[in-house]
Chains A and B, each alone.
Chain A
């Protein structure tokens, strides 16, 4: 479970996140929509405690992320917009390394290959150095690492950026599977279609403020696009 209460981030006089409050429970996918600079990535960074908050609180499993920085990270997995890995290591070695650092020291090579297979990477590909991978393939390794961690909270920052439509679709299916397993997911995205397809709720952000929060079961694709564009034009 993750929760933001009046979460605010300012740089001098400039407020990049303005009193954000949201709650994502187990089995929920909360999609944050908004233009560039709306505060989506800042929200993710604050939950990761990568940047200090100005005021308010961000909690993961009830723990304040600023006070329990390392502890809260053990309960979450994160996939950035662009997953960068270690070029001299293979996909399998990267996954093994990230999994072990994430606390999964129990995983053997077969388990890791299984995770890679689930995201669409073959055994042959898994053995190649990552420097030969495309952006999409690196993204898949990052997704495999996030799944392998078996975290209760998943933070995604435009994770399908760079993925082809088929991979994006497979990724959406993985998210739905994780949702079914009770994972709380917060995803920053520009993809309205995926947000509607996979999200349980959608939040629209503008100039650092959450200007709308919708239940996806109550809006259709066209409605969501219309509402989003209305807010963007205001």
Chain B
């Protein structure tokens, strides 16, 4: 009986213009977004790899110079494009993908693709994630709102129930039929996604544990929309009423909630503007050691301490290069200032993230958005991880260069010069993205939201099934 109802529902939907036209458009958009995303991922990955190689070459091929000058020359590091970013580019276009590492300064990431976009592109960038998070639920609403409500309105529900078909069989059959029809749209795109991953590329092995879990997350999300829509359709006396309720739910989730979450987190947990932040750091840095200015009071104190320690009268007599020590002291002071200010900022940003994730309990679209970006490696956490890794590398690089100046440049002051052998011996930048358990732990609230909504949808549907009557 359930199979018969499922078969009829599937056949009915196949012949229905809503599935034929809307479904075809959304399937085409999903396939196109997946293909375009993959092509873009391939090109951008290659570009970034080439850019990183070129940046390394530029650093390695510097002429002979003072190591600290090399530290000022610096190095560009590029964020690898994660394999699953072809599905969900996340915040990467907004947070920047490269950082210039140089002495004394912690630079922000730059190269933000969104800056090259027109206003309209920023608003409507089509990605597989947008189709899955926004358009597919809309299709679910359009397909499911009348499945029971319209049968009640048209009187066919009376006919079915007069045949001795239980409400449970009707609902289960329709659920299977609708899911099968939706499968016609999602399965080809999922197959294409799998092919893309099988085709390989940079770090594609990292996609494998993440991709199936991403599939589970989206299944829960879309499944939630199906069961909730079905429950509303079963509860409502008219299909119009069901459509209004479901459209309100969709608009709240996909349009209002993201804006609301962002605005609320900014209002409750404000962060300083970039200018204010840089200005407050700059003020404090000025009060600290400056390794470049001869005569600086704190520099003189450091010099005195060092001369006393080595029991000599002049820096020329020191067994080490004083400039190297002074510059590293300046670096350490700057790092401490940066860490303190950035720590406060990161703490606020982290709280904003937590608030947004918590709001995902109310709005499942927020939850899937965070989960999807996290599993694709393109969320705020990954962006901060990259920035932290780059900063850690910057400090290591600058320390190594200052150390070389300190150890090998005794008595030469700023006249000491090193060559390509030193540049080439510097550590290479390696950024390993977060491991899966860490991602899953950070996204616990997202999972709780999706599972809760899905379970609530089933409870609602079960209740609607039990109370389903015709009159």
Contact surface of A with B, Cβ cutoff 8 Å: 45, 48, 50-51, 70-71, 73-74, 76-78, 80, 82-86, 88-89, 93, 97-98, 100-103, 129, 142, 149, 155
Contact residue among A70, A73, A77, A82 (Cβ-Cβ distance under 8 Å from B155): A82
The docked-state distance in angstroms from the alpha carbon of A85 to that of B155 is: 8
- Compute how far the CA of A71 lies from the CA of B1 in the bound complex, rounded to whole angstroms: 15
CA distance A80 to B156 in the complex (A): 10
B5-29 interface code vs A (CB 8 A; 1 in, 0 out): 1001001100110000000000000
Q: Mark B138-162, 1 if CB is under 8 A from A, else 0.
A: 0000000000000000111011111
- Name which residue of chain B comes closest to A105, CB basis: B4
Q: Are A50 and B8 in contact (CB under 8 A)?
A: no
Chain A residue at minimum C-beta to C-beta distance from B17: A88
Q: How far is the CA of A84 from the CA of B154 in the complex (A)?
A: 6
Query: Which residues on B sit within 8 Å (CB–CB) of A93?
Result: 8, 11
Residues of B within 8 A of A51 (CB): 469, 471
Q: How far is the CA of A76 from the CA of B166 in the complex (A)?
A: 15
**What is the CA–CA distance of A71 and B165 in the complex, to the nearest angstrom?**
10
* Inter-chain contact B161/A50, CB cutoff 8 Å: yes
When distances are taken between beta carbons in the complex, the residues of chain B under 8 Å from A89 are: 8, 11-12, 15
- Shortest C-beta distance, A169 to chain B (Å), equals 25
Tell me whether B124 is interfacial, beta carbon within 8 Å.
no
- B166: chain A residues at CB < 8 Å are 70
B171 → chain A, closest Cβ, in Å? 14
Find the residue from B155, B164, B471 having the highest chain A CB count within 10 A. Answer: B164
CB-defined contacts of B1 to chain A, threshold 8 Å: 100-101
The answer to whether A98 and B155 touch (CB under 8 A), given A45-B471, A88-B12, is: no
- Which single member of A80, A86, A100 contacts B158 (CB below 8 Å)? A80
6 A–B contacts, CB within 8 A, in A order: A70-B164, A70-B166, A83-B155, A84-B154, A89-B12, A100-B4
| B469 and A83 form a contact (CB under 8 A) | no
Q: How far is the CB of B54 from chain A (nearest CB, A)?
A: 60
Distance, CA A149 to CA B154, complexed state (A): 22
Residues on the A chain within 8 Å of B4, using CB: 97, 100-101
Question: Inside 8 A of B164's CB, which chain A residues have their CB?
Answer: 70-71, 73-74, 102-103
Least CB distance, B57 to chain A, in whole angstroms = 65
* B163 is an interface residue with CB less than 8 A from chain A: yes
Residues of chain B with a CB closer than 8 A to A85's CB: 156, 159
Judged by a CB distance under 8 angstroms, whether B470 is at the interface is: yes
Give B151-190 interface residues, CB cut-off 8 Å to A.
154-156, 158-166
Q: Quick check: A48 and B159 within 8 Å, CB to CB?
A: no
Q: Which of B247-280 contact A (CB under 8 A)?
A: none
Partner among B155, B162, B469, B471 whose Cβ is within 8 Å of the Cβ of A84: B155
From A155, which residue of chain B is reached at the shortest CB distance? B162
**Contact status of A78 and B155, CB under 8 A, knowing A70-B166, A100-B4:** no
CA distance A50 to B468 in the complex (A): 10
Nearest A residue (CB) for B5 = A101
**Contact A50-B11, Cβ < 8 Å, known A70-B164, A98-B163:** no
- Give B residues with C-beta under 8 Å from A: 1, 4-5, 8, 11-12, 15-16, 154-156, 158-166, 469-471
Q: Which residue of A lies closest to B9 (CB)?
A: A86
**Interfacial chain A residues near B16, Cβ < 8 Å:** 88
Neighbouring B residues of A86 by C-beta, 8 Å: 8, 12, 156
CB contact under 8 A between A98 and B158, given known A45-B471, A70-B166: no
The CA of A93 and the CA of B161, in the complex, are separated in Å by 18
Given contacts A70-B166, A89-B11, A101-B160, contact A50 B469 (CB under 8 A): yes
For the complex with contacts A84-B159, A86-B156, 12 further pairs of A-B residues with Cβ separation under 8 Å are A48-B162, A73-B164, A78-B158, A80-B159, A82-B155, A83-B155, A88-B11, A89-B11, A89-B12, A97-B4, A101-B1, A101-B5
The smallest C-beta distance from B246 to any residue of chain A, in angstroms, reads 22
Residue contact A76 to B162, C-beta cutoff 8 Å: yes
The answer on a CB contact under 8 Å between A83 and B159 is yes
Q: Which residues of B contact A102 (CB under 8 A)?
A: 163-164
- Assess whether B159 is in contact with A98, with CB atoms less than 8 Å apart: yes
A101 and B12: CB pair below 8 A?
no
On whether the beta carbons of A73 and B162 are closer than 8 Å, the reply is yes
**A80 and B5 within 8 A (CB):** no
List of A residues within 8 angstroms of B5 by Cβ: 101
A50 touches B158 (CB 8 A): yes
A7 to B395, CA, bound (A): 89
Please name all residues of chain A whose beta carbon is closer than 8 Å to the beta carbon of B469 when the two chains form the complex. Answer: 50-51
Chain B: minimal CB distance from A87 (Å): 9
Residues of B within 8 A of A71 (CB): 164
Given contact pairs A50-B470, A86-B12, A101-B1, A142 touches B158 in the complex (Cβ within 8 A): no
Give complex CA distance A74, B165 in Å.
Answer: 9
Q: Would A97 and B8 count as touching, CB distance under 8 A?
A: yes
Complex-state Cα separation, A50 to B164, whole angstroms: 11
Interchain nearest-CB distance for A18 vs B (Å): 19
A149 to chain B minimum Cβ distance, whole angstroms, is 8
Complex CA gap A93/B10 in Å reads 13
Distance of A120 from chain B, by nearest CB (Å): 20
Complex CA gap A50/B162 in Å reads: 8
A142 touches B159 (CB 8 A): yes
Task: Give Cα A77–Cα B164 distance, bound, in whole angstroms.
Answer: 10
- The distance from the CB of B25 to the nearest CB of chain A, in whole angstroms, is 20
Q: A47 — nearest CB in chain B belongs to which residue?
A: B162
What are the nearest 10 A-B pairs in CB distance?
A73-B164, A78-B162, A88-B15, A84-B155, A74-B164, A84-B154, A102-B163, A101-B163, A100-B4, A50-B470
Q: What CA separation (Å) do A71 and B163 show in the bound complex?
A: 10
Contact A80 B161 (CB under 8 A): no
Closest to A45 in B: B471
Q: Using Cβ atoms and an 8 Å threshold, which residues of chain A touch B162?
A: 48, 73, 76-78, 155
Q: Is the CB of A101 within 8 A of B471?
A: no
A51–B155 CA distance with the chains assembled, in angstroms: 15
CA distance A89 to B4 in the complex (A): 14
| Shortest distance from the beta carbon of A207 to any chain B beta carbon, whole Å | 20
Interface centre among B8, B162, B469 (most CB of A within 10 A): B162
Q: How far apart are the CA atoms of A36 and B144 in the complex, in Å? A: 36
CA distance A101 to B158 in the complex (A): 13
Chain B: minimal CB distance from A128 (Å): 13
Check A101 against B156 for contact (C-beta < 8 Å): no
Give chain A nearest CB distance to B384 CB in angstroms. 52
Looking across the interface, which residue of chain B has its beta carbon closest to that of A75? B164
Q: What is the bound-complex CA distance between A77 and B4, given in angstroms?
A: 19
